Amino acid sequence: MKEIHHWIDGKEVKGTSGRFADVFNPATGEVQARLSLATRAELDAAVDSAARAQVKWGGTNPQRRARVMMKFVDLLNRDMDKLAEALSSEHGKTFPDAKGDVQRGLEVIEFCIGAPHLLKGDYTDSAGTGIDMYSMRQPLGVVAGITPFNFPAMIPLWKMGPALAAGNAMILKPSERDPSVPLMLAQLLQEAGLPDGVLQVVNGDKESVDAILDNPVIQAVGFVGSTPIAQYIYERAAATGKRAQCFGGAKNHMIIMPDADLDQAADALVGAGYGAAGERCMAISVAVPVGEKTADALIEKLVPRIEKLKVGPWTAGDDVDYGPVVTRAAKENIHRLVQSGIDQGAELVVDGRDFSLQGYEDGFFVGPHLFDRVTPEMDIYRTEIFGPVLSTVRAGSYEEAIGLAMNHEYGNGTAIFTRDGDAARDFANRINIGMVGINVPIPVPLAITPLAAGRNPASAT
Show which residues are catalytic: 281
- Do 294 and 256 form a contact (C-beta atoms < 8 A)? yes
The DSSP output letter for 266 is H
The DSSP output letter for 375 is -
The shares of helix, strand and coil residues in the chain, as percent rounded to the nearest 5, are 40, 20, 35
Print the SS3 string covering 23-34.
EEECCCCEEEEE
Radius of gyration for the alpha carbons in the chain, expressed in angstroms and rounded: 23
Query: CA-CA distances (angstroms) from residue 409 to 227, 391, 437, 457?
Result: 10, 16, 19, 20
- Give the list of residues 6+ apart from residue 280 with CB closer than 8 angstroms, or none: 150, 151, 442
Q: What is the spatial distance between Cα 360 and Cα 364, in angstroms, rounded to a whole number? A: 9
Q: What are phi and psi of 142, to 5 degrees?
A: -105, 130
Which residue in 363, 315, 305, 364 sits closest to 96, CA to CA?
A: 315
Q: What is the spatial distance between Cα 221 and Cα 245, in angstroms, rounded to a whole number? A: 6
Q: What is the spatial distance between Cα 328 and Cα 383, in angstroms, rounded to a whole number? A: 19
Q: What is the spatial distance between Cα 459 and Cα 171, in angstroms, rounded to a whole number? A: 33
Q: What is the spatial distance between Cα 313 and Cα 320, in angstroms, rounded to a whole number? A: 8
For the beta carbon of residue 432, count every other beta carbon within 10 angstroms: 11
Question: Among positive and negative, which fits the CA dihedral 81, 85, 86, 90?
Answer: positive
Q: Measured over all CA atoms, what is the biggest interatomic distance in the chain, rounded to whole angstroms?
A: 81
- Give the list of residues 6+ apart from residue 322 with CB closer than 8 angstroms, or none: 93, 94, 97, 274, 275, 276, 277, 278, 309, 311, 388
- Give the list of residues 6+ apart from residue 182 with CB closer than 8 angstroms, or none: 147, 152, 153, 156, 172, 174, 201
Side-chain half-sphere CA neighbours of 75 within 13 A: 18
